[in-house]
Structure 1
């Protein structure tokens, strides 16, 4: 059966999630801050219209945001991640296949229907997500993933201009040519700034001009990826959906990094030990989720780059005796690695671990006298089951310390409740 692609894009996703459970925010501008309440990472339409840029330091724009009566909130990733999964679950009921491209975007495939019918399908999906979850979405539909991305940007522009509700279906030729004449080459999905400069030197400004270039020139100057993008703009599908990888796939990740900035300066080795233990535990959980094991670990620490006290940053790598996904082994290694890089007298702002030398998990014998330890796997399976049922903070290694004693955790003074993932933070309806 012939299919086409659609890009489903949640509008102002973090701000929209905050509005779902707090109706008072629906009439107010909303801005969501990054880790440690540093920069603006999500803006409602009102905040965008006021000229507040993405990534704006909060302390520089605090006055302007207050003057607009903006609700300034700390990031609530537990809520955003859960609502994202719920959006995906709805899309799986409506689409043939679903690729979760990011936390707020999904590519899906639909039957290759007439343009009016596709528009109706897009509207059905949009209304269903809005009615069931309260999240507004846009839907851009095209014969290829790249044209679906173009359609999504067109849907965004049309909705802001008041011309539509957020659904746009890429037209057939010659109207498609007219559409692509209005798309700047630098706005094409997959065209970076370096390629944009190269194309400008050749006099290519629009997507229509780019797709008309000779294939040999595109391949020589922009590699096979550039050629695939040009063919996608011509209506030839070259990029399939990237569905969930099987666990332990040989094409799985090569490294895994877990790090966070601290809510304040950390000046003791004990707190750095706890932070590295927490990151090691979370990295091990991610390995097990993906059916992987690792043998290498790097620990790193850094102070704030600007301002006093003096700047210091360092990291060191080490190897474990055997491949593993057991958290305790990474925690022990991170504690050992911290010793040679720690320096007294500094206020540290960030720490983390990077796991490397990763491969699929499988029964193996690491040495002549080694054996595969099934009890380790049973223990980790039990830990994962508990965290799935009761949340990630339900069970921690002793090295992580008690929550009340972690003065190195992120600063999130204005975080909303985790309405959908914590029993003690469920919304209360008063009658």
Structure 2
């Protein structure tokens, strides 16, 4: 919407990988029944009737815009926890009046990035997420709501469904409903002993958070990743080993790039491929590769992935999906050396990867790549409705006319 204001009041949905189902949509689309999980092929009549705009997932654009929004938020507070691509927690400065300060942040983000955001404030993370829900869904608050000072706070908790509370999954929701606990207020006032017996310390922590007692401090430093996975569904079934190896080389290359972004290396890699689970003769196979020395070096990871794919490949199979899982992750500063490995070899490879990453960051992902991933790439995901990568690709910059 920010980069295409003509869509402001039109129904818009975003499709999943391979343009299969709806993964999200704006309020206008949801009002038509186009919610998450709706198969696009079943909704074609509805889409045509209401002129619904459909877009393929555009991860490069989403990631870049997310980083821009987070950077703006970081300038307004010294304490920030990035929770997901579209959500973060910040600590409001003690000197500031919360609502006024939040409105200023909201307006700055909109002005600098074009992205509308909503802000919910409270004395705990769990209550802040409820406040954000109110700010986003209920009219009259203009995207900003402070639950800690709201006169109707009790009424909001009394009508807020327990299933929507942060940390309450499907099974816990089912059990809570069986106990007559249907709202956030009822859970807040529930017997701690009963909740502890069924939900453990996590349940008690949720109760305290709903009472306004902060039990979940901001995580100012992101925890190191324990594993990194890159997998994709193919745009069409793949039957040839060469195509599978090209695909797995591309995924392995991306996984190596992610490792370096996290300043990590991997001790091992799991390569996997499968056919469609909705067709007869379902087949899934995997192979594990142990690296002599933990690495993030793209050529070594790609070569190992291609060899592993050769081991698990079977002719006459129509493969639908493949991927790599990097495991045994550790910091690149704590690599366990090898008797025959020379330090200068590692430094040379590290410099080479640093240059490649720098070029791809500056000119767009894929500017420099591995030839082993193939040229035609007929296996790539379908994304025929992808919007331009306005902020990450020079060739797709928005055009201004005067």
What TM-score results when the alignment is normalised by the length of structure 1? 0.88
Q: 2:273 maps to what in 1? A: 301
Q: 1:129 maps to what in 2? A: 109
Deviation at residue 52 of structure 1 after TM alignment: 1.4
User: Matches of 2:141 and 2:149 in 1, distance apart?
Assistant: 19
Q: 2:214 maps to what in 1? A: 237
* 1:325-404 equivalences in 2 (<5 Å): 325-362=296-333, 364=335, 366-372=337-343, 373-402=346-375
Q: 1:275 maps to what in 2? A: 247
Q: Does 1:48 align with 2:25?
A: no
User: Matches of 2:23 and 2:112 in 1, distance apart?
Assistant: 26
Post-superposition Cα deviations, 1:27-63, rounded to whole Å, max 9, x if no partner, equal 4221111111111112121111112121211101111
Q: Is the deviation greater in 356-365 or in 411-420?
A: 356-365
Structure 1 unaligned segments of length 5 or more: list them: 1-18, 246-250
Deviation at residue 213 of structure 1 after TM alignment: 2.6
Q: 1:142 maps to what in 2? A: 122
User: Matches of 1:415 and 1:183 in 2, distance apart?
Assistant: 36
Distance change in 2, residues 1:225/1:365 (3 Å) = closer
Deviation at residue 364 of structure 1 after TM alignment: 4.6
User: Matches of 2:288 and 2:243 in 1, distance apart?
Assistant: 20
Q: 1:155 maps to what in 2? A: 135
Post-superposition Cα deviations, 1:260-280, rounded to whole Å, max 9, x if no partner, equal 111111121111101111111
Deviation at residue 172 of structure 1 after TM alignment: 4.7
User: Matches of 1:266 and 1:96 in 2, distance apart?
Assistant: 49
User: Matches of 1:366 and 1:171 in 2, distance apart?
Assistant: 54
Post-superposition Cα deviations, 1:147-175, rounded to whole Å, max 9, x if no partner, equal 1011111223312xxx3312111045985
Q: Is the 8 A contact 1:365 1:371 kept in 2?
A: no
Q: Does 1:410 align with 2:381?
A: yes
Deviation at residue 215 of structure 1 after TM alignment: 3.2
Q: 2:390 maps to what in 1? A: 419
Deviation at residue 65 of structure 1 after TM alignment: 1.2
User: Matches of 2:190 and 2:95 in 1, distance apart?
Assistant: 30
Q: 2:166 maps to what in 1? A: 189
Q: 2:194 maps to what in 1? A: 217
User: Matches of 2:40 and 2:152 in 1, distance apart?
Assistant: 43
Post-superposition Cα deviations, 1:248-297, rounded to whole Å, max 9, x if no partner, equal xxx52222111011111112111110111111111111111112111211
Q: 1:255 maps to what in 2? A: 227
Q: Which runs of 4+ in 1 moved over 6 A?
A: none
Report how many aligned residue pairs link the two structures: 400
Q: 1:287 maps to what in 2? A: 259
Deviation at residue 410 of structure 1 after TM alignment: 1.1
Q: 1:248 maps to what in 2? A: none
Which secondary structure state, in structure 2, belongs to the residue aligned with residue 203 of structure 1? Answer: coil
Which secondary structure state, in structure 1, belongs to the residue aligned with residue 138 of structure 2? Answer: helix
Q: 2:99 maps to what in 1? A: 119
Q: 1:14 maps to what in 2? A: none
Q: Please, which of 177, 180, 195 is the counterpart of residue 200 of structure 1?
A: 177
Root-mean-square deviation (CA, aligned residues, Å) is 1.9
User: Matches of 1:96 and 1:355 in 2, distance apart?
Assistant: 33
User: Matches of 1:361 and 1:217 in 2, distance apart?
Assistant: 46
Q: Is the 8 A contact 2:106 2:117 kept in 1?
A: yes
Distance change in 2, residues 1:340/1:365 (3 Å) = closer
Which secondary structure state, in structure 1, belongs to the residue aligned with residue 105 of structure 2? Answer: helix
User: Matches of 2:397 and 2:183 in 1, distance apart?
Assistant: 50
Post-superposition Cα deviations, 1:205-239, rounded to whole Å, max 9, x if no partner, equal 22122122333333332122222111111111111
Deviation at residue 243 of structure 1 after TM alignment: 2.2
Which secondary structure state, in structure 2, belongs to the residue aligned with residue 181 of structure 1? Answer: helix
Post-superposition Cα deviations, 1:322-351, rounded to whole Å, max 9, x if no partner, equal 111111111111111112211111221111
Q: 1:177 maps to what in 2? A: 154
User: Matches of 2:150 and 2:354 in 1, distance apart?
Assistant: 55
Deviation at residue 419 of structure 1 after TM alignment: 0.9
